[in-house]
Amino acid sequence: MASVHSQRTGEELPSRQPLYVQVRDQIVTSIEAGEWHAGDMLPSEFELADRFRVSQGTVRKGLDLLEAEGVLRRRQGLGTFVAEADDGWGRAELPGIGHPLDADLELLSCSRGHAGDTAAAALGLRRGAAITVVRRLARVAGEPFALIDSCVSSERFDGLDARRIKQADCNLRRIWLRQFGLRVVSDSPLYRAGLAGREEARLLGVGLDAPLLEVLRTASGMDGRPVEWTTVWCRTDLYGYRP
Amino acid sequence: MASVHSQRTGEELPSRQPLYVQVRDQIVTSIEAGEWHAGDMLPSEFELADRFRVSQGTVRKGLDLLEAEGVLRRRQGLGTFVAEADDGWGRAELPGIGHPLDADLELLSCSRGHAGDTAAAALGLRRGAAITVVRRLARVAGEPFALIDSCVSSERFDGLDARRIKQADCNLRRIWLRQFGLRVVSDSPLYRAGLAGREEARLLGVGLDAPLLEVLRTASGMDGRPVEWTTVWCRTDLYGYRP
DNA sequence: CAGTGGTCTAGACCACTCG
DNA sequence: GAGTGGTCTAGACCACTGG
């Protein structure tokens, strides 16, 4: 990797990235291309250094980035592994110091629509652009906990439908990665409190006007551009929400 | 810093920390001891390397940690600077992509009490231990936005009172640092949604049973032990909450 | 035991900021 | 130009894991 241009097809990227960032990007690209799947062990740092024509320390710095982003997991004496794509909707947790609880995801709907002002701004689309809205329900111990609406550009994720989502166990990030070759990372969310409307109350099993936690978040691809806009409506009478 | 024991007074810490962690700890200790204050420039990496008897790369790794924790700020060509202690209660932000808004903090009360189960568990104290509760109000553009209750051990923060808090512009972290020589970092918060009680409604200027965002968070010292337990009640009808 | 990641060093060069 | 942080290298040794 003596030079960016010698290995890239000729696109761009902000002029000149440090080598360790290029290493990071190359590894993400390889994962997105299907060279390594979730659970696979990556070549050793020295092998990667050889492959990318950089020193082992530079490879390590790139791997450090990816571990911090949750893309890789490393264990001393064992190796570096590709992490399972986390759906990233959040987690339920008991307020008194406890571990995150397991939740089951259920697909409620997958429908087409047009971007309103908020969604368009969040996704960098023009107002009225075609979007696909995926509505899911998260259950904890069988009880409804969160209603999750995710919006993506219909153009970018062409062919996204209920069948595919169910096949992927309702894990959207897994679909982005395996079907569309795109690994995303969640941005920092914005939080609000609101009251349950008719629809939310029915789906979450709470009374009308019950207090609900609203979590607003975008997720961006490796290039930093937002590709997913998610709103979570969360009842927190039993559990708290941990990002 | 050939050995931990040669420079430590003989306490403990998990057996044997890496050198760069020891560098990090030494620097925090120096800041807490008042050697460098907020805004001060630290010695260069090479000077620090000389002082700690390690290589410049090891110093850098320690500084990287501190920058990630928000303790230091570094600017290429300029130097490394001690960051202002951030109070860490959070920030208000307009839901449609915008910057965090400035908030004014007002002290409502500073009172003594006894730890309930939650506070005791969160702070690692015994139930009923003496605690000091600081209640503050955050205003955005003059309008009440958040009610912030912070609990600390009265024993550890002996002499904490309203006068000191006002002198520090209601920035508690600044007091922990300057008066008690302790720099803390916020842990990941837990979120809930609730309804405004009589007290919260009055102070925040919302109606009874208005939806409020509840943020629960501990903050821990350099040694990882929790020292501050904060609950934020936040009205989010106008702005969102960003951690 | 061999192979992995984790730490540490010494030295080089670059990019930025200021006077 | 002098001084700073940012990147990169090559090589060494340690600590952990598995067979």
pLDDT in tens, A55-71: 999 999 999 999 999 99
pLDDT of residue B97: 66
Distance B70 CA to C10 C1' (A): 29
Does B212 touch chain A if contact means CB atoms closer than 8 Å?
yes
Within 7 Å of a protein beta carbon, the nucleotides of strand D are 3-12, 15-18
Closest CA to A66 of A47, A83, A45: A83
Owner of token pair 């060509």: B77
Does B236 touch chain A if contact means CB atoms closer than 8 Å?
yes
Bridge partners for B143 per DSSP: B140
* Chain B residues close to A65, C-beta within 8 Å: none
pLDDT of residue B4: 39
B105: part of which helix (H) or strand (E)? strand B104-114
Q: What is the DSSP letter of A41?
A: B
Strands A143-153 and A226-234: antiparallel
Does B197 touch chain A if contact means CB atoms closer than 8 Å?
no
Owner of token pair 């730890």: B115
* SS3 at position B104: strand
Distance B124 CA to C4 C1' (A): 38
* Chain B residues close to A195, C-beta within 8 Å: 211
Closest CA to A162 of A181, A139, A136: A136
Closest CA to A100 of A109, A91, A108: A91
Output the six-digit token pair for B31: 């800041």
Owner of token pair 């790369």: B57
CA of B35, closest CA in chain A: separation in Å?
A: 32
Residue closest to D16 C1′ by Cα: A77
Whether A52 has a pLDDT exceeding 80, the answer reads yes
Please give the Cα distance from B80 to B76 (Å, whole number): 9
Percent of chain A past pLDDT 90, that is, above it, reads: 83
Sign, CA torsion A50/A52/A56/A60 = negative
Q: Which of A96, A121, A194 sits opposite B118 (nearest CB)?
A: A96
Please give the Cα distance from A82 to B94 (Å, whole number): 37
Q: At what angle do helices A56-68 and A19-32 cross, to 10 degrees?
A: 60
Average pLDDT over residues A7-36: 76
* Chain B residues close to A96, C-beta within 8 Å: 117-118, 121
CB contact under 8 A, A95 and B188: no
CB contact under 8 A, A240 and B216: yes
Residues of chain B with pLDDT under 50: 3-15
pLDDT of residue A100: 87
Residue B198 half-sphere exposure toward CB, CA atoms < 13 A? 0
Who wins on pLDDT, A98 or A135? A135
What domains are defined for chain B? 4-82 (1.10.10.10), 91-242 (3.40.1410.10)
Output the six-digit token pair for A98: 């406890």
Please give the Cα distance from A158 to A138 (Å, whole number): 25
Does A100 touch chain B if contact means CB atoms closer than 8 Å?
no
CB contact under 8 A, B236 and A212: no
pLDDT of residue A97: 66
pLDDT of residue B98: 72
* Chain A residues close to B236, C-beta within 8 Å: 191-194, 214
Q: What is the pLDDT of residues A172-220, one digit of tens each?
A: 999 999 899 999 999 899 999 999 999 999 999 999 999 999 999 999 9
Please give the Cα distance from B191 to A192 (Å, whole number): 10
| Cβ within 8 Å of B, A 136-195 | 188, 190-195
Q: What is the pLDDT of residues B99-143, one digit of tens each?
A: 889 999 999 999 999 999 989 999 999 999 999 999 999 999 999
Please give the Cα distance from A85 to B135 (Å, whole number): 41
By C1' distance from the Cα of A42, the closest nucleotide is C4
CB contact under 8 A, A241 and B213: no
* Chain A residues close to B211, C-beta within 8 Å: 193-195, 211-212
CA of B26, closest CA in chain A: separation in Å?
A: 24
Please give the Cα distance from A226 to A218 (Å, whole number): 6
pLDDT of residue B7: 39
